[in-house]
Amino acid sequence: MQNTVLLINEHDLENTLDRITEKVIERVKNELDTQHNEVYLSPKKVAEMLDIHVTTLYRWEKQNYLIPIRIGTKVRYRKSDIDKLLDQEQIN
């Protein structure tokens, strides 16, 4: 493996770090917006959407195929996770 040394002046380094920081901040903002607008579905609703039995959801959780979140004693599924799952199945 060959090591490469780059020389960069302070101004260029600051500009590069500023651009990287702006990109990271934008990604975080987008992630927060997505989470803020997230829809959470009950197991019954998800089972109806996917035309499966609720027990299949529990099996999928054990297989790490579709992981729900728990809010107190409630089990909910992110709609975005369901959408991703459906998109993957359409590709296959």
Which CATH architecture is the domain 40-91 placed in?
Orthogonal Bundle (1.10)
Quick check: 66 and 81 in contact, CB under 8 A? yes
Cα distances (angstroms) measured from residue 45 to each of 14, 81, 84: 50, 14, 16
Residues 9-64 have pLDDT tens digits of 999 999 999 999 999 999 888 877 766 778 999 999 999 999 999 999 999 999 99
pTM: 0.59
